[in-house]
């Protein structure tokens, strides 16, 4: 039995608002973030889910509980945390100004300094972008391409095991992690070049087939467009 997966990006946080790098570092949802999530939750309130999950970061946990509390047609029970669905880890850059971090990454990748992360990824490709991020990190702690790819495989494999026999589940994760899943598993992506960053509260819909293989059907659907899924 195939399982339908709704991947939701958490609501806007204080670090999002302040333009800070936010990977494994956490910060609370903003008022705007909560209000945007209310739109997401309302548009999912009549969608039946067999289970709901989230990463183990608080911004994702708060998001999944808001969605679960609003849903009128599901008996969710305990919500399990899946650490493999955490955001990408940015090492020493965590909490730093995003624009300054990207300028350092561009330089480490052999480019002229720029804060335009889309330009950096389109120039280097997602693999070399991850390598440049690790190289630019003074302590070289940031996740490189291999580590992140291994974690994505682990996340999908664990989710396939968890959801065997279930029809539809929801997982709250993070923007860069969902985007990188999209680059790998969405047939409209090239497998290396950048795709649009998913909005806070957006939904990416995928399917896990009977053999545990994952593919993305709808990527980065805005919260106001959820009824069209």
User: pLDDT tens-digit profile of 56-100?
Assistant: 999 999 999 999 999 999 999 999 999 999 999 999 999 999 999
Rounded Cα gap, residues 226 and 148, in angstroms:
28
Give the DSSP H/E element, type plus range, for residue 36: helix 31-44
pLDDT per residue over 172-181, tens digit each? 999 999 999 9
What percentage of the chain reaches a pLDDT higher than 70? 100
199-210: per-residue pLDDT in tens? 999 999 999 999
pLDDT for res 42: 98
Q: In which residue ranges of the chain is pLDDT below 50? A: none
Measured distance CA(182)–CA(188) in Å, rounded: 9
The reported pLDDT for the residue numbered 35 is 98
Q: Name the residue among 88, 89, 110, 84 with its Cα closest to residue 214.
A: 84
Spatial neighbors of 212 by CB under 8 A, at least 6 apart, are 156, 157, 160, 161
pTM: predicted TM-score of the whole model, two decimal places: 0.97
pLDDT at residue number 103: 98
């Amino acid at each position: 039995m195939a399982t339908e997966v709704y991947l939701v990006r958490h609501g806007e946080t204080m670090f999002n608002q302040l333009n800070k790098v936010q990977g494994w570092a956490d910060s609370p949802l903003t008022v705007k973030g909560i209000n945007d999530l209310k739109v997401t939750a309302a548009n999912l309130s009549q969608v039946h889910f067999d289970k709901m999950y989230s990463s183990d970061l608080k911004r994702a946990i708060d998001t999944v509980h808001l969605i679960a509390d609003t849903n009128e047609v599901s008996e969710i029970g305990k919500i399990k945390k899946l650490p493999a669905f955490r955001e990408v880890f940015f090492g020493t850059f965590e909490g730093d100004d995003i624009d300054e971090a990207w300028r350092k990454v561009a330089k480490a990748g052999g480019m002229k300094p720029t804060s335009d992360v889309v330009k950096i990824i389109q120039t280097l490709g997602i693999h070399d972008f991850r390598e440049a991020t690790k190289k630019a990190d003074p302590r070289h702690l940031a996740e490189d391409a291999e580590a992140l790819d291994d974690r994505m495989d682990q996340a999908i494999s664990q989710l396939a095991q968890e959801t065997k026999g279930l029809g539809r589940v929801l997982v709250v994760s993070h923007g860069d992690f969902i985007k990188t899943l999209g680059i790998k598993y969405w047939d409209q992506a090239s497998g290396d070049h950048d795709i649009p960053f998913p909005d806070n509260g957006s939904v990416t819909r995928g399917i896990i087939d009977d053999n545990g293989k994952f593919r993305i059907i709808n990527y980065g659907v805005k919260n106001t467009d959820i009824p069209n899924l």
